Amino acid sequence: MASLVKRPAKFVGMHFFNPVPVMKLVEVIPALQTGQETTDLALAMAKKLGKTAITCKDTPGFVVNRLLVPYLLDAARILEAGVASAEDIDTAMKLGCGMPMVLRTHGLHRRGNLLLCGEIFHKYTKEARFALPAWCGTW
């Protein structure tokens, strides 16, 4: 996107998480053309907003979603294989790892986003962990 603006040195991406007032993380994504002062300004702005900011390269999923999507796909694969119920998977991850509900939250409200992200990430990386499983049309 930076290549499409008149001043690419002043362009930087900022990925806020929903709900924005609650979530503390912001991913700051400088483009190849982004000047250091622009990146520094984005980091300072995030801090002023009470957020913790990280920087990462401009790749599909940045950091959080690049880790989260295969995790959610694996949770759904465990459900499909009959290893445990959705409720038990959610309980296991909540109490065993401090993770919020996995399948009920992402399965019911974000299935379309999960599958779309997995498909985009797989096309970009060619990594098997992003490949969509057979159940993707029914979950």
Residue whose entry in the numeric block shows the structure tokens 């913790």: 52
What type of residue sits at position 33?
Q
Residue whose entry in the numeric block shows the structure tokens 């880790």: 67
What three-state secondary structure class fits 78? Answer: helix
DSSP H/E element including 14: strand 12-16
Q: Which residues are catalytic?
A: 15
